[in-house]
Structure 1
Amino acid sequence: MTASAATTSQRQAWAALRLPAPCHGFVRASGDLFESTDPATGEVVAELAVSTPDDVDRAVAAARQALESSDWGANGEARARVLYGFAQALRADQDRLAELLTREQGKTIHEARIEIASSAKMTEYYAGLARMVYGRSAVLGQEVTGVVLREPVGVVAVITPWNWPLVLLVRSLAPALAAGNATVVKPASLTSAITVEALALLASQPGLPAGILMCVLGSGGIVGDALVGHDGTDMIAFTGETETGIRVMKRAAEGLRKVALELGGKAPNVVFADAKLDKALAGAESAIFTTCGQICTAGSRLLVEDALYDEFLERLGAVTNGLRVGDGLDPASQLGPVASASQRNKVLDYVERGKAEGRLVAGGAALAGEPYDAGCFVSPAIFADLPADSSLIRDEIFGPVLTVQRFGDEAEAVALANDTEYGLAAGLWTQDVDRAWRVGRAIRAGTIWINTYHHFYDEMEVGGFKRSGVGRQQGLEGLYEFTETKHLNFDGKSTLW
C-alpha cells in the first residue's frame, strides 16, 4: 500500500476562505471565528464565524417572514425554476466546488466530482416534482366530496453531516423547497465552507424570495440544539449518527415538531457461493471503502458462504493491500484521509481491538512518514474470526474497517444479517432469483442491493428500519415527507343529515 504525493499542479497554494462573505446574506453568523482544516495536510481551508442564539432567532424569523409574505408555497413554477437554476449552477462550478470539497472533507477528487454531479442531478429531479405536489379527491356520498391537499409543513431545519455534505444536503433541501417550505440549514462544522459556497449558488437564483433559504453555523450541541428546539421551526430533517438523532428527536418532541431522520448503519453484505465472483469482489471493496468507510450505508459486515469463504477472503485481502492511500487531490489516490484527527483516532482504536480479538487479514498498518504525518490517514483493514459480540461487528465504526463472517446456509445468512440494531441497507450477491427474493424480503433494512452496491437513484426511496432512522428520503416519499395533508370536506346537501 503506497501513497502518491500530489504534484505542484494538483495542490496549489490555498488562500483560506473567510466566511460568511458579504455576499452571503442568507447566512446568520456573528460570533467568534472557527477554522475548517484540510485533513490531508492540516492547512486551514476556511475561517468561519459561529452563529449565536440571536443569529438562530434571526434566521428562523427571516424564514417565517418570507414564507408568510411571498407566494413561494403556492407557486410551483417558480420553485421549479429556482431549483433547476441551482442544478445548472452546481454543474457550471463543479471544478471549484470539487476541489474545495476534497480539501475540506478529504475524499478523493474523483469522488468529489461525483458528489457535485449527483447533487445537481437530484436537484433537477425535485425541480420536476415542484409542479406536481398532488393531492387526491374522492366522492364520499351523494353531493359529498373529499379533497386531500398536500401543503408545505412550514419552516424546516435541515441539519447535515460531513461525509457527503452536498448530496445529503440536497436530499433534504431540494424536496423541502420543492414542496414549498422555507429552510434553515445547519451544516456540519467540518464541512461548513463547501456547504456555504454551494448554498450561495442557490441563494443567487432569480425568483428565490429572500429568507426562504437561511443558514446558521456552529456546533450541533449549541447551534443545532437551539435550532431544533426553536418555537419557529415546524420540522427537523437530520442526517447523522444514531445517538445524536435520538437527542434531536427528543428535543423536537418538546414542541411536537415533525422529524425526518436518517441515522447510522451496520450493513450486511451477503455473498452466496453462486455469486459472480469478480463482480462480488468489486462490490465488497466498494461497499466498505467508498468515502474511506465514512458512509452510513457502508457494507461493513461481509458475510460469505462457506464454500466460497477462503478464496473470497484471500482475494479481497490482496485487493485491500494494494489500495493507494494518499492526498485526495492526487488522481492516483483510491482512499483519502478520514475527515478529522478524532475520527482517525477512533478508527485506530478499533483496529487495535480487532488485533486483540480476531485475525487481521489485510491492512491495519500504521501510516507514518511523508505524506502521512501532517494528515489524518488510516490504513484500510479487514478482520476475520472475531467473536459475535465484538465491538467491530456491533458498532458503527465509520471508517475503513471490514469484518468478515462465514455462514453455512440461507437461514444462517439471514440470522447474521439481521443480528444488528441497525437496518439502513444491505447487499446480496446470488444468481438464484428465488433466493434473492426470499433473502431480500427477510433482511430488515430499507435498501437491499442485489448483485450491486451503493447505486442510488433519485426516484427510489431510501431510509432505515430499527435504529437507522424515521421517515424516507428521495423519490416521491422524500417529497411527501415535507408536506402536511389537509382534508377539505364539501357537502352540497340541503340538510345536515
Structure 2
Amino acid sequence: MSLKDIAAAAGLRTPVRHQLFINGQFVDAESGETLATLNPHDNSVITQVAMAGRADVDKAVAAAHKAFPSWSRMAAMDRGRILLKLADLIEDNAEELARLESLDTGHPLRDSRMLDVPRTAVTYRYFGGMADKFHGEQIPVEAGFLNYTLREPVGVVGQVVPWNFPLMFTSWKMAPALAAGNCVVLKPAEITPLSSLKIAELMAEAGIPDGVVNIIPGLGAVAGQYIAEHPEIAKVAFTGSTATGRRIVEASAGNLKKVQLELGGKGANIVFEDANLIAAVNGAAWAIFHNQGQACIAGSRLVLHEKIADAFLEKFIPLARSIRLGNPLDPNTEMGPLTSLQHRDRVLSYVDVARSQGGEILSGGNAPGGDLARGCYVEPTIVRAASWKDRVAQEEVFGPFVTVITFKDDAEALQIANSTEYGLGGGLWTNNLQRAHKFARDMRNGMVWINCYKRVNPGSPFGGVGASGYGREMGFDAMREYTQVKSIWVNVDAQLAPHYLR
C-alpha cells in the first residue's frame, strides 16, 4: 500500500510523514537508511521511516546553533504566541493526531482522543503563556549595589523521548525548552516516530523559525548516543529506562552537559482497611491498566491491607477480566496492544518469573488468541507475590501486570512502599487524614497521590528520585531545568576603598 492508502485506511486526512525534519525541511537520512514502523495491532508495516545517523545529528545541531541567537533574543511574548498558535493547530488537527497515535502505538482511540491529544495541546498552551512570565530576581545585597539575576536559555538542547507516550512526551520536553528560548534536537523512539513528525509539520505552520526545532528519528544506540555525546549540545533530557539513563549520563561527561532524566518506576498503590473500596478498585485498575500498563508511573505494586485484601480482589479481578481488548482504532476498545512483539514477550516472561518464585497467577498471564493473535496483546494480568522481595515486586515489568502484596500495619506498608530502587510515583487510599499526610511525607517518591492515582497537569512538577532519575518536567520547575542563572552586580553609588595603596 502507498502512504496515501495507509493513511486513508486509518482514517487520516494526509499521508504519513516518514522523513527527518531538519532546518525546517523534511529530508531523507544522509545514509538513506530506513526502519519499518509497524502497527502493533497486527504487525503490518505502516511505513519506512528515515533513521538518522551521526551525520544527520550534526546537521540538526548545526541548524539549531544557527537559529539560536535570533530565537533566544526574540521577545518572550512572541515566542509564547507561536506556542499558543501551535496549541490551536493541535486542537484543529485533534482527530488526525489521535488516529495517528493509536495506529503507531496501540493506544485505544478513546484514550488518544480524550487524554493524549488534549494533554499535548494544554502543555503547549501552558508554556506558551509562561514564556513572558518566567523571570529573574532582584536580590537585596549591601548598600550601594544593585544585584539582579537573568534566566538565560542553555542553548541547543538534545531530547530523547520514549515509545509509550510519544505525542504527549514530545510536548513535555519541547514546550518548556522553546518557551525559555532554547533550540531543540529531538529524537523520538524509532518504533513510534509518526506523531512527533506530524507535530513538526504543525510547528512549521505555527511559525516556528527554521532550525529552532529538529526532529530526527533514529536508533538509540546511534542517534541517541551521539546526542548525549555531542560537544555542541548544552543539555540532554531523556525519558526511558534506568539502564539507558545511566548510559546517557556516562556519554554526557565529555562536555559536562546538563542532564535531566525521567526514568523507570515501580509504583506502590497502597489500600488501607478504611479506604473507600469501590473508589480504590477503580483507581487501581486505572493505575495499572491504562495504556496497557506502559507507564513509568503505573501503580504496578498493589499493596493491600490483609483485612480487606480478599474483598478488594473479589471486585478487582472481575473488573480486570471485563476490560475490552481490541483494535485500538475501534472506539469501543478499552485496552490495545503493547507497542512491540519484543516488549510483549518480555512482559509475558514475568509470568514464568512469578511462578518460579512461588507467585500465584490470579488472572490473565497470556497473549489472547483469535483475531488478536497476530498483534502485541497481553491480557490484564494479576499476580499474588509470595514476598515483596520477589522479582515481580522489584523489577519494572512495564505492562498490564500488577503484583499483589499484603501488609499487616502501617509500618509494614511503608517498608514495602520504599523497598525498591525506584522513586517516581506512588499512591494510597485511606480516610485517615493524619495517615495520609504522614505517608505522603515518608514515601520515597517524587509524586504521591492520595485517594487518586496518575494525575498529571502542566503546572505540577513531574519527576522522581533514586533510580527514577532527577530533574522535573512541567511547571516552573521545568523552566528552571531549561535555563541557567546569571548574577549581575551594578555599583550604583558604593564607595570602594582601594585594596592596594602605593
Give yes or no for the alignment of 1:253 onto 2:222.
no
Change (3 A) 1:118 1:496: farther
**Alignment partner, residue 4 of structure 1:** none
Q: Distance in 2 between matches of 1:389 and 1:363?
A: 22
**Alignment partner, residue 5 of structure 2:** none
Any unmatched runs of 5+ in structure 2? 1-7
8 Å contact kept, 1:26–1:213: no
Tell me how far 1:201 sits from its aligned partner.
Answer: 0.4
1:85-124 correspondence to structure 2 within 5 Å:
85-113=85-113, 114-124=115-125
Tell me how far 1:126 sits from its aligned partner.
Answer: 0.3
8 Å contact kept, 2:266–2:298: yes
8 Å contact kept, 1:152–1:179: yes
Deviations 1:401-424 (A, max 9, x none): 100111111111100000000000
**Alignment partner, residue 430 of structure 1:** 430
Letter in 2 for 1:17: V
8 Å contact kept, 1:363–1:379: yes
Any unmatched runs of 5+ in structure 1? 1-8
Tell me how far 1:17 sits from its aligned partner.
Answer: 3.2
8 Å contact kept, 1:324–1:334: yes
1:307 aligned counterpart, secondary structure: coil
1:55-454 correspondence to structure 2 within 5 Å:
55-68=56-69, 70-113=70-113, 114-206=115-207, 208-356=208-356, 357-369=358-370, 371-454=371-454
Tell me how far 1:191 sits from its aligned partner.
Answer: 1.0
Q: Distance in 2 between matches of 1:183 and 1:220?
A: 17
Tell me how far 1:11 sits from its aligned partner.
Answer: 5.5
Q: Distance in 2 between matches of 1:90 and 1:46?
A: 23
Tell me how far 1:389 sits from its aligned partner.
Answer: 2.7
1:32-71 correspondence to structure 2 within 5 Å:
32-68=33-69, 70-71=70-71
Give yes or no for the alignment of 1:485 onto 2:477.
no
**Alignment partner, residue 17 of structure 1:** 16
8 Å contact kept, 1:294–1:398: yes
Q: Distance in 2 between matches of 1:386 and 1:328?
A: 35
After the TM superposition, which of the residue ranges 85-94 and 354-363 deviates more from structure 2?
354-363
Tell me how far 1:18 sits from its aligned partner.
Answer: 5.3
State TM-score, norm by structure 2.
0.93
Q: Distance in 1 between matches of 2:214 and 2:34?
A: 19
8 Å contact kept, 1:66–1:182: yes
Letter in 2 for 1:150: R
**Alignment partner, residue 5 of structure 1:** none
Deviations 1:301-341 (A, max 9, x none): 01011111111122111111111111111122111000001
2:171 aligned counterpart, secondary structure: helix
8 Å contact kept, 1:28–1:215: no
Q: Distance in 1 between matches of 2:279 and 2:12?
A: 40
8 Å contact kept, 2:13–2:96: no
8 Å contact kept, 2:20–2:26: no
Q: Distance in 2 between matches of 1:428 and 1:120?
A: 30
Letter in 1 for 2:182: N
Deviations 1:108-144 (A, max 9, x none): 0011112011100011000011011211012311211
Give yes or no for the alignment of 1:464 onto 2:464.
yes
Letter in 2 for 1:477: D
Change (3 A) 1:125 1:111: same
Letter in 2 for 1:19: H
- Superposition CA RMSD, Å: 1.9
After the TM superposition, which of the residue ranges 422-431 and 316-325 deviates more from structure 2?
316-325
Tell me how far 1:348 sits from its aligned partner.
Answer: 1.0
State TM-score, norm by structure 1.
0.94
1:461 aligned counterpart, secondary structure: coil
8 Å contact kept, 2:72–2:153: no
8 Å contact kept, 1:73–1:152: no
Tell me how far 1:14 sits from its aligned partner.
Answer: 11
1:448 aligned counterpart, secondary structure: strand
2:431 aligned counterpart, secondary structure: coil
Q: Distance in 2 between matches of 1:420 and 1:22?
A: 40
1:244 aligned counterpart, secondary structure: helix
8 Å contact kept, 1:46–1:193: no
8 Å contact kept, 2:262–2:463: yes
Tell me how far 1:396 sits from its aligned partner.
Answer: 0.5
Q: Distance in 1 between matches of 2:321 and 2:99?
A: 27
Q: How many residues align?
A: 486
Identity of aligned residues (%): 35
